[in-house]
Structure 1
Amino acid sequence: MTPSTPSATASRPGRRAGSLLTRLRRELFRTPLDALITLVLLSGIGWVLGATLQWAFTAADWQVVSGNLPLYLAGSYPPDQLWRPLSWMAALLLLSGLTLRPGSAAVARWLPAAWIALLPVGLVMLAGGLGLEGVSTRQWGGLALTLMLTAASGVIALPLGTVLALARRSSLPLVHGTASAYIELMRAVPLISVLFFGQLLIPLFLPGDWEVNRVLRAVLTLAAFAAAYVAEDVRSGLQALPRTQSEAAHALGLSDWQATRFVLLPQALRIALPALANQAVGLLQNTSLLAILGLVELLGISRSLLANPAFLSRHLEVYCWLALLYWAVCTVMALMARRLENRLNRGQ
């Protein structure tokens, strides 16, 4: 094979740039009308972006954010123990980075175990135990509380939703009817109503000497609500599988339970992964409703700061920062789900 000459190698970037310009000209300026629409849209985007940057760097006062950054990260967590939620969130950020850009094969091999251990480690770090000082859930808040609510609710909602999906496909009328009634009820009731019912009704079903804190009640309520939507996503994945998969499993001598566990369910979860990732992002965003119930997650922190007379006129800065923070976390979740989907598709 003839090696490429230096002139040919040097001309490759020029050819790529010319190809890009040709493609842009063909797609954006093909006709005079296309060119006019492109110029109008680019002018509007430039004007909005310029005005936003001018406000952000000249008129906005970001002291409300920079001066209260520990509150946004961990709420009213004890200052001398602040390293605990910060360490847990740093570990979460590190695992997210390793998931998106895994280094060696050994690191990629240990990532699933690290993700599984992250939630119990986070609970110990925030609540205390194993030599750590106990901290009441009333002092949890900010980004740490938002992430903990999302992770704990998702861990409960995924298996519960899978069981509901299997129950709705059951041939037993009582099992099928119960699962269908639960799913349709949860999907027909607004989440805020479910949250209020959960906060008020869960203590009524417990013995008098039992007490469930607000964070645990919020986790159980969010999980019960999200499980109904997860069940429909998993059921759609099961319905997308051809009947030949089940027939082949039975031909190999597998029982119905074994065929579902080892053949059907893994494929259904792979198919439903984009929808499940969307549910995870929605679950993170739905935690903002808990501010109405008195939990000081990200939106609760913002509302408490805006009630301070020193920051009464800083609504725009607070909500822009809040939107940026939610966008960053949701984007990382979406990218990790996309990487997992690509990896599973390569395995397939």
Structure 2
Amino acid sequence: MLPLIENNVTAIVCLISAVIIQRIFIKELRRGTDKEEIEGIKWFGLAILFWGLGAFINVLCITLFNWETSNKILIYLGVIISLANSLFILLSLQSIEHDSKRSLIVRVVQRFSTREFVGLYCAVLGMIAFVFVAASYSNSAISNNFIWLIDIPISVFVALSLFFELNKAFKSRQMQFMYLPTFALFTLIMIAVLQRIIPQDRVVAIVDQEFWSLMGTITAISFKFLFIFLFSILLYSWKFLSENEQQESQVNRLTAENKALYSKLEHFEIASESHLDTIKTIKKEITGLREAQKTVLSERQKEVLAYLAHYGTTKSYGEIAEIMNISVDGFQTHIYQVKKILNISGNAGKEQLITYALVQNLRINLDQNPAT
């Protein structure tokens, strides 16, 4: 009765959990998550799925064909399921992220590609299993405990590696409070292993058979439940960290874009200030020209400017004054007054006066000045 309860509970819980985990894996793939980052979800899901399938097949064989749990075919099937489960867990261990050094068995797995490791694993254990099956199938003297020896070393190595990798992952994520559940998982797996290798007849001499069977059922169910629980915690923490990394990446990207925009804004501000200064200067010059155009000069001053415009590029002030039949001092006095009126100063004053005269179209009457 107890084995049937164990298999029913295991089949229901593991199959439902496997379906949920595989749906999470598919959903993450569709979201565009890197397949290598979520490869562990697939392998953990397959490990749980094989547990469920093995339990479901046991239920069918016990209920439909009335097979005993000690039937060698069921034992062989259990060994195969356990070996497949160990394979999937080994493949998933390298996907458990942490900053510490990997365990030895994980480093061995990482030396091969997935296909190479699966092929090597199946080849080696397949040959060993064949020897065990050939030796035990037709020999009733060989107990079921002997058949389980195929799986025991692998189960122990997997349990140790899983224990170390989970603790390292939880430590890396500041979740040291999960050490106790991982230790409990390791302990339960070791108890389950002991139940498989200790002969039943020797156990009965020490403890009650019903108690031993009950402990075996509770242990088998408990470590599977705890395994699923720890994996769920690990999956949730991975998801949480992944979302945090995505948010940090987005923050960094937005910060970089903000800095780039701020740099462009400063550049535009500097350019705008330069343009504003240029515009102010142009406005000032235009205002000066407009004011100059509004300036009223006397006829004598216009005449001086006209002569300056005509002769200024080739003759000096004294020569122009002589042509106008006025003194140099008088000519320079007129020039000074015009500069003051037009607000002209500096060494380029003469050129500015000539330009002004040309703009104002001030010309001399050459007929009245034959000296020209």
> Structure 1 length normalisation: TM-score?
0.29
Name which one, 1 or 2, has greater alpha-carbon Rg.
2
> Structure 2 length normalisation: TM-score?
0.28
